[in-house]
Structure 1
Amino acid sequence: MFDLHRLRLLRELKHRGTLAAVAAALSYAPSSVSQQLSQLEAEVGVQLLEPVGRRVRLTEQAEILVAHTEAVLERLERAESDIAASLDELTGTLRIASFQTAALALIPTALGLLRERHPRLRVHLTQQEPEQSLPALHARDFDLVLAEEYPGSPHPRSAELEQEDLLHDPLRLALPEHSGSTDRGGPLTVLRSLARRPWVMEPEGTPARHWAVTLCRRAGFEPDVRFESTDLLLHLRLVEQGHAAAFLPDLVWSGRPPAVPLRQLPLGQRRRRVFTVVRQGASRHPAVLACRAALRRSVTDSMAD
């Protein structure tokens, strides 16, 4: 029978890419990881890794092993969920990753509800963009991820992960005071009137940036992006100070009245999807169920405000 610990190391290598990354994630020495994988090769009796420059990649046989390892780990995760459900009190640690605006607008209320109802559950939160947090969920660094999806930019759906919609967050055009934009005509006309204005957007390569630039191009201009940041509070501050126009989601207000003039976007571009993601085997874990329920309540409370 193959050693499960070594199989998990092989799986980690698939998801993290390098022996050094596996060693850093698991607090091992790289030589120890390499030795364990060599022992696994001896157990299996076939080559599992092949060199590619200074790195290694998995062979076809290694990919087969990883697929079976994923199935075993999912079944073990289901067993963990069943054991947790059999207990009278929810304990342990739940590791959450969330992008910024959801972390600010929804997480604090959800944490309060979890503390009130499950005082022995320890929640660990990391602010991280979905581009990083979803692969980390695969690698079991997190138990639940809050992710966002912009119009026309869907995330690839993995059979190993389960998504659940949380809300559809309105997106709006945020105008600096005295922007010179027109209030006449439809959303594209208003957007086109800002063609010569500076813009603040998220960095190149992000889904939000791709969506924003595509929207400007549909209006007939290439945006003059002078400011780049994943921090939407910085976007807001630059708009407030008159330095740039921006596209801002409603969650950025966290229940407060908008501080800058807002305009509607064209049809089909007015909402981003916000959802939670967990691994298939963890979807029925009581801590995951409690967290998702608390987040739904947080959304309801924020809409009531």
Structure 2
Amino acid sequence: MIEVRRLRVLRALADHGTVTAAAEVLHLTPSAVSQQLAALETEVGQELLERRGRRVAITSAGRLLLTHTDAILTEVERAEAAMRQHADGATGEVRVAAFATAISLLVAPSLARLRSSTPGLRLVVRDAEGHQGVTQLLDGEVELAVAVEHRGSPRPDDERLTQIPLYAEPFDAVLPSNHPAASAKSVELASLSSDGWVTPSVGNPVRDVVLLACEQAGFQPRILHCSDDFRSVAALVAAGAGVALVPRLALRDSPTGTAVVRPLSDPAPVRRVFVAVRPGSADHPLVAATVKALAEAAACL
């Protein structure tokens, strides 16, 4: 294997013409330069130099190696600069796990912000519904997770995580257009107890919030259909498949067909969204920049 430092010696010799001059530039002794060049010839298995009195000439094999040397030394310099920037927190990759709505409302706008404010950051996004985001974070697969508070969430004092609230949004009722409550200004959740329901699938935190809200309203919903895509939920409701509760921002700017969206009477259930990081990486400049961008995006909702 060719030693990069020996290529630097060959380049210095080619630039300055003598072993003595190359040694001065490299802050080595002439003997050390000669030893490095001899070792390089051994590594490539060919003569690289012709001795001509006090001077040396580069052989054709040496000139061929020099054409690669310049490219190699340039890439090594780039790699060294990149590693220095990484050590300083100026460049690197941050992986973010988030559920679909958070990707569109928070992560995508943050990516755009970070592209200009932190150009050395490469954001990698993973769609993670339900408990997956926090699980991936604890397993070291991502550096940040945007998730929803629910009964199975880590406690705020969980020492494995640093949790930062981002936003909270109420749930709205999604009703078929011919539903008796469709014309009301607000809907009492208990009035939907006899309807069939469309909910997210088991394991989705939104389903847990919906079930808890119905339980507190005094009934258990009769679940007929399941979908984790809120546009699909709205389409099923519009087709008369049942009623649903959906986080308000989840259907913002999304078509709901003939389905009607109405606010719930107080107390309405709330979806609370947070970003979590591992405490050991919370202060890393790139992680902190990403959290800041997410919080700024959340403040604009």
TM-score greater than 0.5 by the shorter chain: yes
Q: Deviations over 1:105-148 (max 9, x none)?
A: 22211110011222231111001024122122111100000011
Aligned to 1:90: 90
* Contact kept in structure 1, 2:176 and 2:182, CA below 8 Å: no
Classify the secondary structure of the residue corresponding to 1:193: helix
Aligned to 1:99: 99
Aligned to 2:284: 285
**Change over 3 Å in CA distance of 1:145–1:84 after alignment to 2:** farther
Q: Deviations over 1:6-57 (max 9, x none)?
A: xxxxxxxxxxxxxxxxxxxxxxxxxxxxxxxxxxxxxxxxxxxxxxxxxxxx
* Structure showing greater Rg: 2
**Change over 3 Å in CA distance of 1:225–1:102 after alignment to 2:** same
Once structures 1 and 2 are overlaid, which stretch shifts more, 291-300 or 96-105? 291-300
Q: Return 5+ residue gaps in structure 2 as ranges.
A: 1-83
Higher relative contact order (CA 8 A, sep 6+): 1
Aligned to 2:232: 234
Partner amino acid for 2:285?
Answer: P
**Change over 3 Å in CA distance of 1:202–1:84 after alignment to 2:** farther
**Change over 3 Å in CA distance of 1:114–1:185 after alignment to 2:** closer
Partner amino acid for 1:121?
Answer: L
Q: Return 5+ residue gaps in structure 1 as ranges.
A: 1-82
Classify the secondary structure of the residue corresponding to 1:299: helix
Classify the secondary structure of the residue corresponding to 2:176: coil
| Residue of structure 1 aligned with 2:242, choices 213, 222, 244 | 244
- Residue 217 (structure 1) shift: 3.5
Aligned to 1:116: 116
- Residue 297 (structure 1) shift: 2.1
Classify the secondary structure of the residue corresponding to 2:299: helix
Aligned residue runs from structure 1 range 110-259, under 5 A:
110-150=110-150, 153=151, 155-157=153-155, 158-181=158-181, 187=187, 190-254=188-252
* Contact kept in structure 1, 2:114 and 2:290, CA below 8 Å: yes
Classify the secondary structure of the residue corresponding to 1:213: helix
What's the TM-score once normalised by structure 1's chain length? 0.62
Classify the secondary structure of the residue corresponding to 1:146: strand
Partner amino acid for 1:134?
Answer: V
In 2: Cα distance, 1:156 partner to 1:176 partner = 36
Aligned residue runs from structure 1 range 46-85, under 5 A:
none
CA RMSD of aligned residues (A): 2.7
**Change over 3 Å in CA distance of 1:142–1:106 after alignment to 2:** same
* Contact kept in structure 1, 2:204 and 2:228, CA below 8 Å: no
- Residue 285 (structure 1) shift: 1.0
What's the TM-score once normalised by structure 2's chain length? 0.63
In 2: Cα distance, 1:167 partner to 1:288 partner = 19
In 1: Cα distance, 2:272 partner to 2:229 partner = 18
- Residue 182 (structure 1) shift: 7.1
* Contact kept in structure 1, 2:199 and 2:233, CA below 8 Å: yes
- Identity of counterpart residues, as a percentage? 30
In 1: Cα distance, 2:85 partner to 2:161 partner = 20
Aligned to 2:262: 263
Q: Deviations over 1:181-239 (max 9, x none)?
A: 3767974xx33333332211112344432331232234343322111122222212222
* Contact kept in structure 2, 1:198 and 1:244, CA below 8 Å: yes
Partner amino acid for 1:273?
Answer: R
Once structures 1 and 2 are overlaid, which stretch shifts more, 291-300 or 163-172? 291-300
* Contact kept in structure 2, 1:171 and 1:270, CA below 8 Å: yes
Once structures 1 and 2 are overlaid, which stretch shifts more, 164-173 or 228-237? 228-237
